[in-house]
Amino acid sequence: MILSDLNTGKAPAAPSSHGNTDKAPSTPYLNGNTSKASAVPCPHGNKKPARLAVGMMSGTSVDGIDAALVEISGSVERPQVRLLAFENKPFPPDVRRQIFELFRPETSTVDRIGYMNFLLGELYADAALSVIRKAGHRPEEIDVIGSHGQTIWHEPIPCTKDGYPVSYTVQIGEGAVIAERTGILTVTDFRVTDMAAGGQGAPLVPFSEYLLYRRENETILLQNIGGIGNMTVLPAAAGPEDVYAFDTGPGNMIIDAAVSALTGGVKSYDAGGEMAAQGSVNQELLALLQKDKYYTLPLPKSTGRERFGLQYTQKILDWCQGRGRKLSFDAVASPGTANSHPQPDAAEHSAAGDQPHLETTAISPADLLATVTDLTAWSIADAYERYVLPKYHASELIVGGGGSYNRTLLSFLSRRFASYGVAVKTQEDLGESSDAKEAVAFALMADLCVRGHVNSLPGVTGAKKASVMGKISIPG
């Protein structure tokens, strides 16, 4: 469980209910080192009863770097995690622009990727040192840093055109730079190990959610809403083999791109859902968007900007400009075949500009935003009905990520889940932090990595076995 302190000077909160009634895992792989990895010597030893770890994350919305400093104690299968400090460091606007250029193959050149990989290493190092200072600690007191990095491409569908089933993922933010600038053992590049073992490399956070949130007598859903939405299903009294998770579809990604287009780039997101709250859902457009084939794909499944990125939003805007035109997304980054990688739609790579654009629309801007906001809510409810309800009835949907601050989105979710008898709550309702949750997860996974313990759930990603994920950079 997570105990939030956030360096306020207050005593830590009492343990949350989701950490008190857990039972130990029913399968042994969390209890021992089944992968035969060797523990890496930490500066203060691997046997410390409590360790300090920094976790960092920057997601598909490319808002900035989330950095959390936590204290980890307890056993491998029942850890106790106390949040000591959290910060979000927004990316400088020009850096954010350059990152978006790396999402498009014709502008994502090798020199630009290499440059940004090292630049982000510098920015992540600064973020780590800043959150350590905020908590009143010194770098030499920290045992490990875990940094997810910035995803610029994720292709989980194997391509066999050269005789091997190749799937791949690219996260940047050089771990060696982080380790050298901070002097702290650093773990990065978590996803590739799972993919090498036949998994999709996503989602990864369900591993920490299982350890920290599972309950004995209730099935709960943990829904992260970042650029992409992802759901973790924790059945009552679950063992690690019972947990499953998947990407539900777009989270904030389409909403943010639409806001940018509608405001000429003045705004990059709908703060609090205030713009969408002024409109009404256009049922014709919503029905068209619901036909995307991703929503009915079998599990395991994951998605990203390659499917629901800028080109997707541009197609929506084009339809709005000429209502009645056919709206089809079949050609937009559809899953690859056995002989080819998926190719993003040409609109994603247009030289005309980096963001979707809109001249006029037959749908009011507020109605458009209300519609794409409700699309996210619908996709989550549809995922529950399609993939969860046949086996489990959940008591709560616990929402985290940036989308948890969108009051209109939460209202749509509450309305849609009311018919299922599922209460919609946020991390803050549990006394936790929506912003810090994923950064905390990578701190915990890094701690397990350097101690030689598995930190993945193969039942979630589709991998053949559990793995010790992460590449370790040792400071000189």
3-state secondary structure labels for all residues of the chain: CEEECCCCCCCCCCCCHHHCCCCCCCCHHHCCCCCCCCCCCCCCCCCCCEEEEEEEEECCCCCEEEEEEEEEEECCCCEEEEEEEEEEEECCHHHHHHHHHCCCCCCCCHHHHHHHHHHHHHHHHHHHHHHHHHCCCCHHHCCEEEEEEEEEEEEEEEECCCCCCEEEEEEECCHHHHHHHHCCCEEECCHHHHHHCCCCCCCCCHHHHHHHHCCCCCCEEEEEECCEEEEEEECCCCCHHHCEEEEEEECCHHHHHHHHHHCCCCCCCCHHHHHHHCCCCCHHHHHHHCCCHHHHCCCCCCCCHHHHCHHHHHHHHHHHHCCCCCCCCCCCCCCCCCCCCCCCCHHHHCCCCCCCCCCCCCCCHHHHHHHHHHHHHHHHHHHHHHHHCCCCCCCEEEEECHHHHCHHHHHHHHHHHHCCCCEEEEHHHHCCCCCCHHHHHHHHHHHHHHCCCCCCCHHHHCCCCCCCCCEEECCC
Phi first, then psi: what are they for 419, rounded to 5°?
-70, -20
How much is the pLDDT for 351? 32
How much is the pLDDT for 328? 53
CATH superfamily of 220-430: ATPase, nucleotide binding domain (3.30.420.40)
Q: Are 56 and 147 in contact (CB under 8 A)?
A: yes
Going by C-alpha positions, the residue among 35, 32, 1 that lies closest to residue 18 is 1
**Backbone CA torsion sign across 272, 305, 268, 374:** negative
How much is the pLDDT for 355? 57
Going by C-alpha positions, the residue among 217, 229, 212, 200 that lies closest to residue 384 is 229
How much is the pLDDT for 139? 98
73/157 Cα distance (integer angstroms): 37
Phi first, then psi: what are they for 163, rounded to 5°?
95, -5
How much is the pLDDT for 439? 96
Q: Which fold has domain 2-212+436-473?
A: Nucleotidyltransferase; domain 5 (3.30.420)
* Strand 50-58 with 144-159, pairing: parallel
Spans of all domains in the chain: 2-212+436-473, 220-430
Q: Are 455 and 207 in contact (CB under 8 A)?
A: yes
Structure-token pair, residue 139: 């770098």
Bridge partners of 244, per DSSP, are 233
Going by C-alpha positions, the residue among 154, 224, 216 that lies closest to residue 19 is 216
How much is the pLDDT for 362? 74
How much is the pLDDT for 322? 78
Bridge partners of 82, per DSSP, are 3, 71
Going by C-alpha positions, the residue among 373, 283, 285 that lies closest to residue 321 is 285
Whole-model pTM? 0.81
Tens place of pLDDT for every residue, the chain, 476 residues? 444 443 333 333 333 333 433 443 333 345 444 444 566 656 555 678 999 999 999 988 898 999 999 999 999 999 999 999 999 999 999 999 999 999 988 899 999 999 999 999 999 999 999 999 999 999 999 999 999 999 999 999 899 999 999 999 999 999 999 999 999 999 999 999 999 999 999 999 999 999 999 999 999 999 999 999 999 999 999 999 999 999 999 999 999 999 999 999 999 999 999 999 999 999 999 999 999 999 999 998 989 888 999 889 999 999 988 765 555 554 344 334 445 554 444 333 333 345 565 555 578 999 999 999 999 999 999 999 999 999 999 999 999 999 999 999 999 999 999 999 999 999 999 998 889 999 999 999 999 999 999 999 999 999 999 999 999 999 99
How much is the pLDDT for 124? 98
What does each C-alpha distance from 286 to 59, 73, 318, 320, 362 come to in angstroms? 26, 47, 15, 12, 15
What does each C-alpha distance from 275 to 103, 281, 358, 376, 407 come to in angstroms? 27, 12, 17, 16, 11
